Amino acid sequence: MRYAETGFNLEIDLSTGNVERVETDPRLTELHLGGLGVSAKALWDRVPPEVEPFSPDNLLIFSAGLLVGTPAPGANRTIVSTVSPQTLFMAYSMMGGFWAPELKHAGYDNVIIRGKSPKLVYLWIHDDKVEIRDAAHLSGKGAGETSELIRAELRDPKVQVAAIGLAGENRVCFASIEQGKSSASRLGIGGVMGAKGLKAVAVRGTKDINIARPAEFIEYCNGVLQYIGVRDQRPVPGVMPILAGLGSPQEMKLIDEEWHTTNFMWGNSRTRRKDFWSKEIEERWRGTQESSRRRLISCHNCPMKCSAIISVPGVATYMMKCFSKLTYTMAAYSDLDFGFRIAQRATEYGVDAFSAPQVMAYGLELLEAGILTAQDFAGMPSDNEGKFYWLLDRIVRREGIGDVLADGTYWAGKRFGKAAEELAHNNIKKHEQLPLKLGMLNPVYFLMYATGEKSNITQIEGQFPQAPFLTRAEREDFVKDWIHVPDEKFKQYLLDWEPRGEHSNPYYPTVQMSCEIVDWQEKMHYIDDALGMCAGLSSFPLKPPYHIHNYPAIISAASGLDLDEASLTHITRRNRTLVRAFNNRRGLTRADEAPPQDHWKKRFPELEAKLLDEYYKFKGWNNQGIPTKETLHELGLGYVADELAARGILTASPAAPGAAKD
Ligand code: SF4
């Protein structure tokens, strides 16, 4: 019997219409757990680096992690993996909501889709019955509208639907996949779905999931729920309110926007609006939010309610979560009310709320700079908000200037020439990063930005505070119940971290400490992403219910795998290294790991080089950020080492002085 997982994948070839239910090898679970781990393995095995993102040979994998569908609170993530049309590396975007648990109950851990349908279709997965259905009538429909139409067609309101909007159909490189209460937004996975001619995947499942040791597991789950309740009463003092509790940043519940509005860029600017926030704006935005928010909502099996139903006069009701509340507002130098209104249209179109507003602001700056002309924007309204609606419509239809902007700022910059490339100043690995504009470099964040492949700051930060507490007393208070640290030394790192002086950024935390902190944070993300656990209850917030000390027992009780901290860490290193190797095989090197120049005003080139050198060594990678042969063999990835060597990727390059021997 298989526990926690179903033991079956769906393999679907949209070119031939072939659908297969395939039993999976239990050894894969032992090696990679599930979710991101097994997806990375499938991509490594089946998508060679020559495959283009929109090629029928690219895979699109919908994966429910190992704990999804079990009673573990927060285990509801769908991990969607493919090759990104933006970065040309692996994309793995995650969505919460209800889709992945439904897939597990239908009897599958993963849906692996290849090929390209000659006409627009949707998948209907209903337990053992799987159909590829005509979707001609859904062409051009919004993502939410598509879900409603499919539910009506199937006459079952409980069907969970993951769908693309017009942006995905038109292969916009930052198109998202939307489903009810969440979306998988980053790196253009919706565009890959559109290139396959796949409008939606609808799922309904009625089967049970086996648990290896049910009584023990339920006890752990109850413990997690109790802790969530306790933590709810104890926000972390000295931390901004939206980050002081659990879950995603609590932007739907609270108005706490001073930090974002004064430390992130507005539009495509290079400067901050340091004096933007005021009592008057706080009150006005509170009024806007409270009048627009119908109610707070949660994902499957979670009490946290991080999302909200938003309803604005004249606009259909929709769901919003997290920082997307501000992205359109700030891109257009506008007001929160505008942000709530345009986000509805953008959600129906299915675009990434981080990238899309930045791309539109970038387009307008190209016009202001004279790189593009009024002719390129013929028909655009003159008012600021009208410009953004107009641009959004052009981009998702790939009409006129929108066709170039639909590729994102990096590729549009390449197309328009050097001056335009310089204005695309907020990219890393060819995609739009969160638009930080901070003063002093933080070494931990530098490493996370530079080397992370999850492509989202909120998904690469973690259980170590983002900034030092102001006083020693606050630090001492924080570490008192900090049971989450993998080692007691992390408490001392925090106790000694000062806002100013010798023990402050950028030289403290030291290089070695920064490597250890980033490695811990990244480890937690890779565990979550293999389990399908929401980062909001584990790798993202301070003092979460899931951590490295209780995870092995929880996973073991659910799955029957015999795990302790060391073996869980080993599996996690294997998954992380496989993602890195997949991207190395597609050309990722040290040169790609450069955060935007203006993310921090004060930069330290020698320190940054040293941070990268030491972090690579810490991870067992060579000086180009490529896992060494020894590391790969230690992790049971000898086949990866052989291929990287055969392709000449693991040969020490003369252009990389100090490269570790592989
Ligand atoms: S913590 Fe928030 S985002 Fe995460 S599963 Fe719960 S409701 Fe969803």
Distances, alpha carbon 329 to alpha carbons 171, 266, 339, 366, in Å: 25, 8, 4, 19
CA distance 589 to 613: 13
Q: Is the CB of 74 under 6 A from ligand 1?
A: yes
- Mutate which of 179, 246, 299, 456 for ligand 1? The one with the most ligand atoms within 8 Å of its CB, which is 299
* 244 CA to centre of ligand 1 in angstroms: 15
Q: With pLDDT > 70 as the criterion, what percentage of the chain qualifies?
A: 98
Q: Secondary structure of 247-306 in the HEC alphabet?
A: CCCCCCCCCCCHHHHHHECCCCCCCCCCCCCCHHHHHHHHHHHHHHEEEEECCCCCCCCC
Using pLDDT thresholds of 50, 70 and 90, give the confidence band for residue 459. low
Q: By alpha-carbon position, which residue is closest to atom 8 of ligand 1?
A: 299
Residue 657 has pLDDT above 90, yes or no: no
Q: Is the CB of 534 under 6 A from ligand 1?
A: yes
The helix/strand/coil state of 449 is: helix
Residue 378 has pLDDT above 90, yes or no: yes
Closest alpha carbon to 40 in 368, 358, 453 = 453
Q: Could you tell me if residue 587 is left (phi over 0), alpha (psi between -120 and 50 degrees) or otherwise beta? A: left
* 267 CA to centre of ligand 1 in angstroms: 29
Cis peptide before 541 (omega within 30 of 0): no
Burial class (CB in 10 A: 0-12, 13-18, 19+), 280: exposed
pLDDT of residue 181: 75
Residue range 526-558, pLDDT digits in tens: 999 999 999 999 999 999 999 999 999 999 999
Q: Within 10 Å of residue 176's Cβ, how many Cβ atoms?
A: 33
* 654 CA to centre of ligand 1 in angstroms: 48
Q: Is the CB of 524 under 6 A from ligand 1?
A: no
Using pLDDT thresholds of 50, 70 and 90, give the confidence band for residue 249. confident
Closest alpha carbon to 94 in 54, 39, 139 = 39
CA distance 34 to 5: 8
The residue count of the chain comes to 662
Work out which ligand 1 atom sits closest to the CA atom of 534: 4
Q: Is the CB of 364 under 6 A from ligand 1?
A: no
Q: Is the CB of 101 under 6 A from ligand 1?
A: no
* 224 CA to centre of ligand 1 in angstroms: 14
Residue range 63-101, pLDDT digits in tens: 999 999 999 999 999 999 999 999 999 999 999 999 999
Structure tokens at 229: 């309740």
Between strands 182-184 and 177-179, the pairing is antiparallel
- Mutate which of 232, 306, 538 for ligand 1? The one with the most ligand atoms within 8 Å of its CB, which is 306
pLDDT of residue 549: 98
Q: Within 10 Å of residue 25's Cβ, how many Cβ atoms?
A: 11
* 567 CA to centre of ligand 1 in angstroms: 27
Check if the beta carbon of residue 454 is closer than 8 Å to that of residue 525: yes
Q: Which residues pair with 602 in a beta bridge?
A: 440
Average pLDDT, the chain: 95
Q: Is the CB of 170 under 6 A from ligand 1?
A: no
Cis peptide before 241 (omega within 30 of 0): no
Residue 656 has pLDDT above 50, yes or no: no
Between strands 431-432 and 427-428, the pairing is antiparallel
Q: Is the CB of 96 under 6 A from ligand 1?
A: yes
pLDDT of residue 662: 38
Q: Is the CB of 97 under 6 A from ligand 1?
A: no
What does the pLDDT average to over 467-491? 97
pLDDT of residue 458: 57
Q: Is the CB of 76 under 6 A from ligand 1?
A: yes
What does the pLDDT average to over 616-645? 98
Q: Is the CB of 536 under 6 A from ligand 1?
A: yes
Residue range 149-206, pLDDT digits in tens: 999 999 999 999 999 999 999 999 999 999 977 899 999 999 999 999 999 999 999 9
Q: Is the CB of 427 under 6 A from ligand 1?
A: no
* 381 CA to centre of ligand 1 in angstroms: 39
CA distance 659 to 628: 10
Q: Residue 325 — φ and ψ, nearest 5°? A: -55, -35
Residue range 91-132, pLDDT digits in tens: 999 999 999 999 999 999 999 999 999 999 999 999 999 999
pLDDT of residue 455: 80
Burial class (CB in 10 A: 0-12, 13-18, 19+), 275: exposed
What does the pLDDT average to over 508-524? 97
> Which of 16-25, 84-93, 269-278, 454-463 is predicted with the least confidence, judged by mean pLDDT?
454-463
Work out which ligand 1 atom sits closest to the CA atom of 297: 7
pLDDT of residue 655: 43
Using pLDDT thresholds of 50, 70 and 90, give the confidence band for residue 654. very low
Q: Is the CB of 72 under 6 A from ligand 1?
A: no
Residue 658 has pLDDT above 50, yes or no: no
Check if the beta carbon of residue 208 is closer than 8 Å to that of residue 223: no
What does the pLDDT average to over 576-584? 98
CA distance 522 to 76: 20
CA distance 434 to 449: 10
Q: By alpha-carbon position, which residue is closest to atom 1 of ligand 1?
A: 247
* 232 CA to centre of ligand 1 in angstroms: 14
Helical spans, DSSP H, in 65-172: 99-106, 143-154, 166-169
Q: Is the CB of 211 under 6 A from ligand 1?
A: no
Q: Within 10 Å of residue 482's Cβ, how many Cβ atoms?
A: 17
Helix (H) or strand (E) holding 113: strand 110-114
Q: State the amino acid at position 403 in one-letter form.
A: D
What does the pLDDT average to over 302-306? 95
Structure tokens at 640: 């990866």
pLDDT of residue 322: 83
Q: State the amino acid at position 564 in one-letter form.
A: D
